[in-house]
Copies of this chain bind each other. A is one copy, B any other.
């Protein structure tokens, strides 16, 4: 049983191909009665239009591309949920592409998109991304693109972010108020703007409370879980070591807990710890984990909504539409 196409429908109904097409697209040129007949027959024969044939003639492929570093991460999987919720409503499909935090992969994926595979792009850049030529290329090629969470400051398009600076500040301030004076900061990237903003918030908080930052305690983590674990072990093995830790990425939770266990350090008695995280299990960890929780679903949803506005009206100006959705400090026992 081969798939029926518009030509088959035409034969079936003794109408021309163009009439069928217009009827299905509810054109004013076609009479109510004919439309009715066409639609009825189309359903009866399970006709489904080939989206790519349509996409050739100026119309849309009805695919959007979502480019993220990884999917096994609460933030990104929730954001994807948000994106998908609006894509589904708009009749669009979602192409998920993973960069695995590699700049090379990101470049290749975006280059592929030049070919017309997708109508628009939602992007959260890799931790290695510091140059944005590949993104500007895509945009100047006419593809609308909206950043979410991890943005390139120098690309002129909509960016949906959270209040990273303030969150970094709030996190640090919370630890200070819990009597930490030596606070370590675990960053994920030197080039990523969210990482830098959180770091700036951390530094500003230290400054406001007259605490001297210690370079030794600001650690740039890698994409290698083992190595990160060793860095954390080393951090917590120093004498005069930190008694508070701010981690900027969910993946570091396990390594920190394990390192503390290994070194027989008690959380929160010996070290207080909080993490930027959307982990659902934060509240049932041992001890329960204080988090800065980002509005992941909301951010995905907002970014997608904006992208679809641009897809509907090609003259929609994305450059004026950036938005910041605040994160939330959820205090639990790891900083008690």
Contact = CB atoms under 8 A, between A and B. Distances in A.
Nearest to A283: B254
Interface in A85-104: 88, 93-98
Interface stretch (A75-83, A195-203, A212-220): A75-83
Contact of A77 (B61, B77, B280): B77
A312 to B, nearest CB: 20
Contacts of A48: 111-112, 114-115
A330 interface: no
B80 A93 contact: no
B70 A81 contact: yes
Contact of A84 (B1, B94, B98, B115): B98
A183 to B, nearest CB: 22
Contact of A142 (B2, B74, B116, B117): B2
A279 interface: yes
B114 A3 contact: yes
Interface stretch (A122-130, A241-249, A285-293): A285-293
A72 B74 contact: yes
> Interface size for chain A: under 10, 10 to 19, 20 to 34, or 35 or more residues?
35 or more
Interface stretch (A51-59, A157-165, A227-235): A51-59
Contacts of A61: 52
Nearest to A143: B3
A83 to B, nearest CB: 10
Q: What's the number of copies of this chain in the assembled complex?
A: 2
Contacts of A63: 63, 95, 117
Contact of A280 (B71, B97, B254): B254
Nearest to A94: B96
Given A98-B84, A111-B48, A253-B284, A78 B74 contact: no
Interface in A42-73: 46, 48-53, 55-56, 61, 63, 70-73
A333 to B, nearest CB: 9
A93 B98 contact: no
A258 interface: yes
Nearest to A72: B77
21 contacts: A1-B141, A3-B142, A46-B111, A46-B114, A48-B115, A50-B56, A50-B116, A51-B115, A52-B52, A52-B55, A52-B61, A73-B77, A84-B98, A94-B96, A95-B95, A96-B96, A284-B286, A285-B285, A285-B286, A286-B286, A286-B288
